[in-house]
A = this chain, B = another copy of it.
Amino acid sequence: MPDTRDRILNAAEARLLSEGPGGLVLEAIAAEAAISKGGLLYHFASKEALVAGLCERMLQGFDERLETLTEADDRGPGAFTRAYLATTVTAEGKPADNSARLMAGILATLGRDSTHMVQLREAFARWHARLAADGIDETTATLVRLAADGLWLSALLGLNELDPTAGREALAALHELTCTEDA
């Protein structure tokens, strides 16, 4: 049995993915976590705190994968850019995980201007800085990131219109960009 706090976050995540933002109801989350509403509120003082926790954990996981993949890459310049690409989307151009759908839910709950969105903004700024200093042409790195974000966006909107072949080709092209160009 995992830590209660994590169990609650898992439950919130599960409901967000299965029912959408509307399903993010404290009582329902508590039920899914096999806990009472009071117990939930003991751990997260408010709904906002809960969603912020969700956001934080997601960003942390993203950062860890980025770090691992960057270190594992031995093809010289562009390592971080490739890691970003791999962390965001699969080889078929599909989103790598549920982060986009989670993000959509978090966004819908917290709203664009919540103080907790600052985390997200900081994370993006951090990644952008690393991409810019990745040893490859900065504009190229930016383009690769934008395209990756674009694919991620499709998932956020529930679009998956890129067929596997086109996705693979697009990904290959992006990947090639990170290898052939330099600063």
Contacts and interface: CB of A to CB of B under 8 A. Distances in A.
8 contacts: A124-B157, A142-B166, A142-B170, A143-B170, A146-B146, A149-B153, A150-B150, A150-B153
**Copy count, this protein chain:** 2
A139 B104 contact: no
Interface residues of A, number: 43
Contacts of A125: 161
Interface string A143-164: 1011111111110111101100
Contacts of A161: 121, 124-125, 128
Interface string A6-41: 000000000000001110000000000000000000
A150 B146 contact: yes
A170 B120 contact: no
